[in-house]
């Protein structure tokens, strides 16, 4: 998968160092994956939750943070839409948020 964009992940872990290892692991798995469905993503990340046909929520750093990613499977692309704390996550519309 092509992950757009690593710079977004880096900026977040610089602000929240406890998230770094989890985000680096997520990125390493995602960039080498050949996912073609939400089910394939869920198989790689059992705690991930599908939000609709294209968006999935990931728990970061043991659930301390949340990340929403939109997938476009035909082109094997993953778009980071949101990363934040639980409180920030609770204040956004998970189906329309586009933080980056």
Specify the pLDDT at position 46: 92
Cβ-based burial of 65 (10 A; exposed 0-12, middle 13-18, buried ≥19) = buried
Regarding pTM above 0.85, the answer is: yes
CATH architecture of 2-90: 2-Layer Sandwich (3.30)
The domain locations on the chain are 2-90
Specify the pLDDT at position 97: 95
Radius of gyration of the chain (CA): 12
pLDDT band at 100 (very low <50, low <70, confident <90, very high): confident
Q: Residue 73, Cα to own-chain centre: how many angstroms?
A: 15
Mean pLDDT, residues 14-35 taken together: 96
């Amino acid at each position: 998968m092509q992950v757009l964009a690593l710079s977004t992940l880096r900026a977040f872990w610089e602000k929240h160092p406890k998230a770094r290892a989890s985000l680096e692991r997520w990125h390493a798995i995602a960039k080498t994956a050949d996912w073609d469905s939400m089910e394939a993503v869920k198989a790689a990340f059992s705690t991930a939750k599908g939000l609709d046909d294209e968006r999935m929520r990931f728990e970061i750093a043991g659930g301390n943070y949340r990340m929403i990613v939109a997938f476009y499977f035909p082109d094997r692309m993953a778009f980071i839409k949101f990363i934040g704390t639980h409180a920030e996550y609770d204040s956004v519309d998970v189906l329309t948020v586009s933080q980056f």
